[in-house]
Structures are given as structure tokens and as C-alpha cells.
Structure 1
Amino acid sequence: METVVWVDGKLVGESERALSAVDHGITVGDGAFETCTLVDGQVFALTRHLRRLDRSLRGLGLDPAPDLETRIRTGIDAVLTRAGTIDGRLRLTVTSGIGPLGSGRADAPATVIVAAATSTMRPESRTVRSPWVRNERSAVAGLKTTSYAENVVALADAVAQGGDEALLANTVGELCEGTGSNVVVERDGELLTPALTSGCLAGITRALFLEWGAEDGLPVREAEPGELPFTVLDDVTAGRAALALTSSGRNIQPVTWLDGASVAPGPLTLVARDLFERRVRERMDP
């Protein structure tokens, strides 16, 4: 199916030119976005995604206009009406609108883009350690911005090595996140995910993994500072730990290949994956 796209009140063709060449989202990547899972044509966890989008915009210094959520929901309705009852992804993008060619902003209305397409989640992941790091002290640390060039480069490097995701440390050598995912380490009978202080994104799936796992009595928690160094990945390749990724495009996805070596998914990881799959169908907007 062709991607269904809505830009500021109008459905447009996938290849149709629909944005100004001087939109600040294009010239300097000045904007934020969300990628949501579509289940039978319904948006999973939309309230949480809109809340995080608001937080990212405010973190960028872009106070959302009072009608922004209404505009976004109008776009969602139009796109889903056209797309039908698909399983896939819905992307919401908000930029600061038309601006100058430099980094300074103009006082312009935001640009809103909504797009949907079918997609299939892979049952497992092949990951590669990235040579680059995430800056946990960055001005945009923890924000889901459209400035994604670092992620594109790191992911392309992983793909060239046979992977589908790259894992990044932060500047102090802690395990941080993937280019588009959060990380879970299964070790010593627990499921641990890096704390937000590592600089990782506050993932929607990550949060629900922690909430739903605890609700069902699984030993899930955020790691303490320094508890998950990047070298914990050596324990994964040695078979002393297991690894999984979480994101809206993956749900809870066991890692079965790391840096060219096959690795086994952990038993708790598989329980958490099955739990998440059930909950998604039961609670569309948790």
C-alpha cells in the first residue's frame, strides 16, 4: 500500500511536493515527531504519544499552539479513513514552520504532517555495537526530534555489517539505547533497562514494558547509574546475559545476533514479549 500522507489539512500523494523548501523542518531539522503502532486501523497508545510529542516540542522551545492537538487528530482521522483497517505505522511530525536558512526561527505557524503505511514487525533483531556515542548532556537529549542524522549514520553502519539496529553507549560508557529503540538486558533473573539519565529516549513501549511487567509480577526495573556499562554486551555474547529491544516498531523484540555472533533470547524476555503482545490487543490507549 502506498503511504497515505496528510499535510496541513490536505491529503497528498506520496511523491507529491507538499512542503515549503524553507520549512525549518527541512533546512535545519527543527521539529519533533512520533511513530505509533497501528493495530487494525487503530492507533495504539495515542494519548501517550501526543503527551510525549508535546514534551519534545516544549523541550525544543516550541510551545504548542492551543489548536495543535486538534489539527493532529484531524490529520489522523483523514489518514486512517483513507488507509483503512491496516496494521502498520503512523507517523506524526510537527516542525516550526517556514523559517530562515539559518538556525534562527521565524514567528510562523507550525507545519503538521501525518502519514500511515503498512508494516510488519520482525520477530527478532540483529544488532551491532556502534562506534559512536549518545551525548546524555545534549540540549535535545531525551527528545524525539527530526534531527536524526546521527541515527541514520549509525544505523547504516550496522546494516552494512549485517544488522538491523545499532546500539550506542553514552559519553560515560553506559549502555544507552539503539538508533530507534530502547534496550533491555536480562541478567541474573531480572530485566533491566537503562535509566533516562543515560540520555535515552523515554520510549512509550519501554514505559509500558516496565508498567505491565511489574503489574504481572515480572522482575523488571530501571538500572541504577553505572549498573549497565556498555561492556555488558560482552556478557550477552558470552551467554551470561540476554538482550532485547523495545519500540513502537518492534514491541519487545529479542536480540538473536550481536556483532556477528548468534545469541539466545532470555526466558524472561520471551515471557515479557508474549505479555506485551496480549496487552496491546486488550488496551488500545493505556
Structure 2
Amino acid sequence: MDLVIWTDGRFVTADEPALSGVDHGFTVGDGVFETCSVVDGQAFALTRHLHRLARSARGMGLAAPDEDVVRDAVQRVLDRAGATVGRLRITVTAGVGPLGSARGDGPVTLLVAAGPSAPSSLSRAVRLPWVRNERSAVAGLKTTSYAENVVGLAYATARGADEGLLANTVGALCEGTASNVLVERDGELLTPVLETGCLAGITRELLLEWAAHEGLPVREATPDELPFMVLDDVLAGRGALALAGSIRNVTPVVSLDGVDLAPGHLTYAAQDLFARRVRDGIDP
């Protein structure tokens, strides 16, 4: 099956109604979600994703769904989908509510879906003309209010790229529309600190842990260490760039703003490390 969708206890097809027309996730984007890669029919790092889902829900003021219920729904979806799917999405919304911003008092909505995925081993990026607000009420939360990311990715796609990179409001390198950023320079691979407003990515988290265990120089940057202007250094050949995300894992960036880049050796080492450790266990 190409797509399997489960919502609140039942399977639906892609052309069947799955949510109320006044579900707050639909009307105002009031919800949170997680996307996991699927490896051999199992969701990778599911426990970490479920913990982040609960953190995002709390940050939004939503009731976190019962973890056992979510795990059961995930298993039902993956059992029906088979081993060919590559992506799993878990979505929790505030449920049925008024047409305005105020929430209703009903239960949250839970939706789990699995479908195909075709990740690339390389990435191409452009710098976006907009910024991420690190002081936003939802900074660092994985919410369904994704319009900024949709617009940013469309901008990147129109320019031949598959990701757009964002600064924050004070000019620090922050993140991509759906990825964390890694900058290779001076013998280290650095990723922006969470205080920049970037998402605490699961791939980012695992890479930092695994690299520290194996002695690979990958670390979180200090608050002022990666200004957005560091991308000028990358373009000038004084650094390299990589992206990290749950579907792409770790990928070298081979083009920035239409200029070809040479991937760094640490980037390739991190990519190899991640691929190897994924094979070691499905729920690290």
C-alpha cells in the first residue's frame, strides 16, 4: 500500500474524511506532529519521537496523548502498510473547536499515517530571505502551523534546491525548513545551539551522542559561533555544509545558492556513522 491512514480508532483512505471541518488543527493549525523514518517496517527512534511529541504538546498547552495508544496506532498502521513504506507521521490536534483561535473543550485528535519516502544522499540549499523568530511562543516546538516552512521550501524548490536555510532575528544561523544545519570548519562539525530557535532534531540529538561516543568532533556551537554570514565562508571554500533530519538522516550539501560545494570529510564520516548506528538498533 502507498498510503495508510488511521484516525481515532479507524482506518480511512486518502479520499475519505478523516477530521472534522472544525478541527482546530485544520482551521488554525493548532496541533503538533512527529515524522519518523521507517526501517524494515519499524519506526526508527520512536521513543525519542514520542517524548518530543509530548514536549511539543505541553508547550502548546495541549494534553499529550496516551503513549500506549499512540504506540498501538503506530503498530496497526505499520502492520497494514508492510515493509515498503519509508515515512511515518503522527499528528495530534486540539480537536473540534470554534472557528476562531479559542479552543474547544473536547478531546484531542490523533492521526497516524505511513507512506513512501525517497530520501536523497545529497542536498542542495539556498538562503531564505525570511527569519525564524527565536522568541516566538512556539519556537522549538514541532507544530502543524507550518506555513512558513511551506513558503520557504517552495522558494528553495523554485531555485533548484531541496532545502532553504534560515537565520534568526539576531542574525544567527538557525535551521532549514525541515532540517538541522551542520557547518564543517576548522576540523569540527558544528550545529547551531537550540537557543537560536531551531528544533531539537532527533537526528541532530543522536548524531551528537554517537559522535561523542566515537570521538568524532561534532558539537553544538556556542551562541555566537555560527552567524548566518558563516555561509559566505562556506561559499568561499572555507567550510562545508550538511543537513540532518529524520528522513534525510545526515546529508552533505553539494550546492548553496546555485554554487557547487565540496562536501567535507567530517560530513562523510558523520553520514557513515549515522548509517551504521541506525543498523545497530531501531529505537536508540
Q: Given the two structures, how large is their TM-score scaled by the length of structure 2?
A: 0.98
Amino acid at match of 1:279: R
Amino acid at match of 1:112: L
Range 70-79 or range 197-206, more displaced: 70-79
Deviations, residues 202-251 of structure 1 (Å, cap 9, x unaligned): 00000001000111101111101111000111111111100000000110
Compute the displacement of 1:4 (Å). 0.6
Aligned partner of residue 274 in structure 2, secondary structure: helix
Q: 1:262 is matched with which residue: 246, 256, 260?
A: 260
Range 117-126 or range 26-35, more displaced: 117-126
Give the RMSD, CA atoms, in angstroms: 0.8
Compute the displacement of 1:84 (Å). 0.9
> Residue 25 of structure 1 corresponds to which residue in structure 2?
25
For the pair 1:154 / 2:174, whether they are aligned, the reply is no
Aligned partner of residue 34 in structure 1, secondary structure: strand
Amino acid at match of 1:251: N
> Residue 83 of structure 2 corresponds to which residue in structure 1?
85
Residue pair 2:85, 2:114 contacting (<8 A) in 1 also: no
Q: Where do residues 185-224 of structure 1 align in structure 2 (5 Å cutoff)? A: 185-224=183-222
**C-alpha distance in 2, partners of 1:27/1:232?**
39
Q: Following TM superposition, where does structure 1 have runs of at least 4 consecutive aligned residues deviating by more than 6 angstroms? A: none
Q: 1:253 is matched with which residue: 251, 254, 260?
A: 251
Compute the displacement of 1:141 (Å). 0.1
Deviations, residues 134-184 of structure 1 (Å, cap 9, x unaligned): 000000000000000000001100101111000000000000000000000
**C-alpha distance in 1, partners of 2:26/2:53?**
18
**C-alpha distance in 2, partners of 1:236/1:261?**
10
**C-alpha distance in 1, partners of 2:97/2:61?**
15
**C-alpha distance in 2, partners of 1:140/1:161?**
29
Work out the percentage of aligned pairs sharing the same amino acid. 67
Amino acid at match of 1:143: L
**C-alpha distance in 1, partners of 2:93/2:161?**
31
Q: Where do residues 104-253 of structure 1 align in structure 2 (5 Å cutoff)? A: 104-253=102-251
**C-alpha distance in 1, partners of 2:64/2:203?**
24
Residue pair 2:43, 2:282 contacting (<8 A) in 1 also: yes
**C-alpha distance in 1, partners of 2:186/2:259?**
21
Amino acid at match of 2:87: R
Compute the displacement of 1:63 (Å). 2.6
Deviations, residues 102-161 of structure 1 (Å, cap 9, x unaligned): 000111101000000121210100100000000000000000000000000011001011
Would you say how many aligned residue pairs link Structure 1 and Structure 2?
Answer: 284
> Residue 92 of structure 2 corresponds to which residue in structure 1?
94
For the pair 1:4 / 2:1, whether they are aligned, the reply is no
**C-alpha distance in 2, partners of 1:275/1:77?**
28
Structure 2 gap segments, 5+ residues each:
none
Amino acid at match of 2:137: A
For the pair 1:16 / 2:12, whether they are aligned, the reply is no
Q: Given the two structures, how large is their TM-score scaled by the length of structure 1?
A: 0.98
Compute the displacement of 1:75 (Å). 1.3
Aligned partner of residue 120 in structure 2, secondary structure: coil
Compute the displacement of 1:71 (Å). 2.1
Residue pair 1:87, 1:120 contacting (<8 A) in 2 also: no
